[in-house]
Amino acid sequence: MKNRRHQFFYLAAVLAAVLAYAVIALAMPESVKPLAAAPRSVLTVEVATPQAVVLPLRLAANGNIAAWQEASIGAEADGLRLAEVKVNVGDVVRRGQVLATFASATVGAELAQSRAAAAEAEAALAEADANAARAHRLQTTGALSAQQIEQYLTAGRTARARLDALRAAEHTRQLRLAQTRVLAPDDGVISARGATVGAVPPAGQELFRLILRGRLEWRAEVAAPDLAQLKPGQRALVTPAGGKPIEGRVRMVAPAVDPLTRNALVYVDLPPGGAARAGMFARGVFETGTAPALTLPQSAVQVRDGFSFVLRVGADSRVVRTKVGVGRRAGDLVEITGGIAPPARVVAAGGGFLGDGDLVSVAPSAAARASTTAAVN
C-alpha cells in the first residue's frame, strides 16, 4: 500500500513540473526563447566558375584506312612451275628482292640452244661476207658474171638477217630466264599472297600484292560545306577501331564531290609503324583553327536523359540543378555554350551525391589554401 502511495506522489510531482515548465515557456518573451537548431549542410564542395580560354576548332569525320599505293605483282612467264616462294604476308621487302622463283631448267636449255644457233649464224655470216668481198673485187676482171656477184651479195645479206633473228630469239630466252625470278618493284610490305609452290600460273596472274613503302592513308568522308575549312598540311588525329589516336597530315582534298552522298574524300597521310592497318575503319578530327570559349571542368557537368546539367551554388549555399549547353572538349575542359555565365559558381566535382536544393558548404579553392599555408609559414 505504501509503494502505491509513493508512486502516486512521484507521478503527481513529475506532472506538476511539466505543467510549470510549460507555463513559464508560454510566458517567456520571444527574445529569450531558445533558437531552433540551424540546418546542417549535406556536403562540403569546391566550386568552379566558367573561365574564358582558347580552344581548338575541330571537324569530326569518319572513313577507312587504305594503302597509299598498292602494287600487283604477277607472273610474267607462262607455263612454268613455281619452285620456291620466299616471302609471306606482312614481310617487309626491298626493291629488287627476290619474292619467288620458277623452275628454270627448261628455259636455260632453250637459251643455250639459241646461243649455239646464233654462233652458227655468225660463222655463216662471216663466210658469206668473205665471198661477197671476193666477188666484188673480181667484178672488174670479168671472171664472174653479174648474176653470180649478185648471188654472193644476197647471200651475205641473208646470213646477216638470219643472225639478227637468232640474236633476237636469244634475247627472248634471256628475258624468259629473268622472268623466272619474281622481284619486288619497290620497298614495301606484302599485303596479300597468291603464290603456291608447285603451281603453274598463267602469265598475268597475281602472285603478290605490295603496299608501296608501307605508306597508309586515312580516307575521310567530309560533307561538302565543310571542305572549305580543310587544306593540305593541316593536322588530323585519327583513331582506328580499338586503337589509340594517330597524328596525321592532310595530303589532298578530293577535287570532286560524290553526287549521291554529297561528301568528298580527304586523304590524310599516316606515319609508318603504327597500329593502323589497311581496311580498318577509323574516326578522326581535323584541327582547323582556334577560338575563345567559356569552359568548366568536365567533372562539373552531369548528363541525364540526354541533357547536360550543372549544380549552381546560390547565395544561400543551396544548389540548383541548371541545364546548360555544351560544345567543344579539350583535355578535362568542356565548352559551355549557354545556361550559365560568370560569375556563377557551380559544384566542381561530386555533384552525383547532391540533389536539387541541398545545402552545401563551400571549401576554399586550392589557390586560397596555398596562400593561407604560405601566410602561416
* Span 22-53, pLDDT tens digits: 555 555 555 444 444 456 666 788 899 999 89
Q: In the structure, what pLDDT confidence band is assigned to residue 142 with cuts at 50, 70 and 90?
A: low
Q: Is the pLDDT of residue 20 over 90?
A: no
Q: How many CB atoms lie within 10 A of CB 42?
A: 16
What's the mean per-residue pLDDT of the chain? 83
CATH of 44-55+291-376, one of 2.40.37.20, 3.40.50.300, 2.40.420.20, 2.60.120.650: 2.40.420.20
Return the DSSP state at 200: -
Can you list the positions of beta strands (E) in 274-345? 281-297, 302-304, 307-313, 319-330, 333-338
Taking residues 45-65, what's their average pLDDT?
A: 90
pLDDT of residue 370: 37
Write out pLDDT tens, residues 339-373. Answer: 888 888 999 888 778 888 888 888 875 433 433 33
Write out pLDDT tens, residues 237-279. Answer: 999 988 889 999 999 999 999 999 999 999 999 998 778 889 9
pLDDT of residue 143: 67
Q: Domain segments of the chain: what residues?
A: 44-55+291-376, 59-68+215-290, 70-210
- Taken as a whole, the chain contains a residue count of 377
What is the share, in percent, of the chain residues with pLDDT greater than 70?
83
Which of 3-12, 171-180, 189-198: highest mean pLDDT? 189-198
Model pTM greater than 0.95? no
Alpha-helical runs (H) found in 88-202: 105-137, 146-178
pLDDT of residue 160: 87
Report which residue type is found at 206.
E
Topology of domain 59-68+215-290, CATH: Elongation Factor Tu (Ef-tu); domain 3 (2.40.30)
Q: How many CB atoms lie within 10 A of CB 265?
A: 21
